[in-house]
Amino acid sequence: MGDLDVYEKQNFGNLSGIGESPALLIVDFVNGFTDPEKFGGGNIQDAIYKTVDLLAFARAHNMPVAMTRVVYSDDGSDNGIFCEKAPGLKGLTEDAPISQIVDELAPIKGEYVVRKTQPSGFFGTNLAGWYNSKGVDTVLVTGCTTSGCVRASVIDAMSYNFRTVIVTDGVGDRAIGPHEANLFDMGQKYGDLMSVSEIISVISNKN
């Protein structure tokens, strides 16, 4: 019995779908993750390019849009265990160039920029409350890294009972092995796997 057969036998991988009120979540597409010398590499830049298309579609359809940044205090007072595991994160302070959202995805008025110190965009933030205030029932997740902050945010989105979609060509990782493994696992347990073109088609056909 192959790996997929085990999941099918145990009835994993069912679809939760896209509801009537989707929103976009863009996780940590900041300058530092476009630089392989900092936090980048792999297919992250390609995922940013695809997210540009989805963001334009979301704006055209008046979908709520949230973007996350990892932001630590200049004095290091809120550095935690995450920074012990990856000390370079300490440099992601409010005004640091590496902590700024990439120009291609720069937020506009009305879009929610979430500052976080942990992997999930929901942990210790008001993101779930903001989505609830907008009547959101589905969260479309792009960003990086697939195996890190994207995965953590996907699990929390599902835990808050949002239908959750991982945008397969809109998420990236510094290494392709973890990217592919985590896409598979999230698709079996936490959300649906859909490409940008598939999402645009489904939502367009609903309207």
pLDDT tens profile 27-36: 999 999 999 9
pLDDT tens profile 34-62: 999 999 999 999 999 999 999 999 999 99
Single-letter amino acid code for the residue at 199: I
123 CB neighbour count, 10 Å cutoff: 13
CB-based contact 47:54 (threshold 8 Å): no
Q: In Å, what is the CA distance from 121 to each residue of 1, 154, 204?
A: 37, 9, 27
pLDDT tens profile 166-177: 999 999 999 999
Beta bridge partners of 166: 141, 193
How many domains would you assign to the chain? Answer: 1
For residue 3, pLDDT beyond 80 = no
DSSP summary character for residue 171: E
Work out whether the CA dihedral 161, 157, 198, 110 comes out positive or negative: positive
Residues 48, 58, 149, 165: which is the catalytic one?
A: 149
Band of residue 206 on the pLDDT scale cut at 50, 70, 90: confident
In a domain, 175, yes or no: yes
Band of residue 4 on the pLDDT scale cut at 50, 70, 90: confident
In a domain, 145, yes or no: yes
175: CATH: 3.40.50.850
In a domain, 88, yes or no: no
Residues 6+ apart with CB under 8 A from 136: 21, 22, 23, 64, 162
149 an active-site residue? yes
Domain that residue 49 falls in: 19-69+99-206
pLDDT score of 42: 94
In a domain, 59, yes or no: yes
In a domain, 6, yes or no: no
Residues 6+ apart with CB under 8 A from 152: 118, 119, 120, 121, 123
Residues 6+ apart with CB under 8 A from 186: 151, 154, 155, 166, 193
In a domain, 41, yes or no: yes
In a domain, 52, yes or no: yes
DSSP summary character for residue 10: T
114 or 2: which leads in pLDDT: 114
DSSP summary character for residue 123: T
> What is this structure's pTM?
0.96
In a domain, 91, yes or no: no
